[in-house]
Amino acid sequence: MVSAGQVQVHRYGGPTTLIEYGGLRFATDPTFDPPGEYDTGIPGFTLVKTTPSPVTAADLGRVDAVLLSHDEHDDNLDTSGRAFLGEVPVVFTTVSGAGRLGGNARGLAFWEAAQLKRPDGGTVTVTGVPARHGPEGCEAISGDVVGFVLTADDLPSVYVSGDNAALELVEEIAGRFAPVDTAILFLGGARFAQFFDNALITLNSAQGAEAAKILGARRVVPAHFDSWAHFTEGRADIEQAFTAAGLADRLQLG
């Protein structure tokens, strides 16, 4: 668990975290399946989960909203995670994803905001922010992705990157929200030889450190760098990159 005043972030492996914010509980990209292979529908290409989740969906307790960066990839929404979506009041995701999921899913376009009532009578604003799951023009293959920023009048801000590989989009987000107090960055340097000439489809560790600088983030909670075979960098790489950038004191792996 990563704790800072009124905001706590619990990491559960892969892209799944639980953010306690303003009396509300937000889960990101829920994945609870055991290790195994996922058929992508592309001949000869599978996603491989290597490590079990340390929790089940039931272990999370009450969840008020899911922040789902995208619904089309099993490493961000596995079988158990998909079943879990129906148990929460609202699922914020991409506009296209909301159309596929239906029900309680609400699509947020880039810069579109939604408000949630807090138990104390206040409001949390959830803003959809730009993300791109690979190099420019990748959407036809990798699909749409959205990130999120949580804000409230009396609370520090939280940014959830989702599967974003574009630092120029981080600069756009910083232009509206910097400094960001807590940045939950999906890292791992994911790439596949079959796609985009092996270009990165998520940030690597050095880019994560650069994103932290751009955002002016006081703390960084890395996510989505473990539990799946397609990551090229892990915890040690993240620690090394943030140390080299002079940002080791901002890094909180929990």
Instruction: Check which CATH number belongs to the domain holding 116 and give it.
Output: 3.60.15.10
Asked whether residue 254 is domain-assigned, the answer is no
Which residues make beta-bridge pairs with 152? 155
Q: Side by side, which strands form the sheet with 219-223? A: 113-117, 123-130, 146-152, 155-160, 182-186, 219-223
| Total tally of structural domains belonging to the chain | 1
Average per-residue pLDDT in the chain? 92
Asked whether residue 252 is domain-assigned, the answer is no
Asked whether residue 129 is domain-assigned, the answer is yes
pTM for the model:
0.94
Asked whether residue 229 is domain-assigned, the answer is yes
Asked whether residue 52 is domain-assigned, the answer is yes
Asked whether residue 181 is domain-assigned, the answer is yes
Compute the distance between CA of residue 11 and CA of residue 248 in angstroms, rounded to an integer.
18
- The per-residue pLDDT for range 159-209, each reduced to its tens digit, is 999 999 999 999 999 999 999 999 999 999 877 766 766 667 789 999 999
Asked whether residue 253 is domain-assigned, the answer is no
For residue 87, give its domain range. 2-245
Predicted confidence band at 125 (pLDDT cuts at 50, 70, 90)? very high
- The per-residue pLDDT for range 12-50, each reduced to its tens digit, is 999 999 999 999 999 999 999 999 999 877 776 788 999
Asked whether residue 23 is domain-assigned, the answer is yes
pLDDT of residue 5: 56
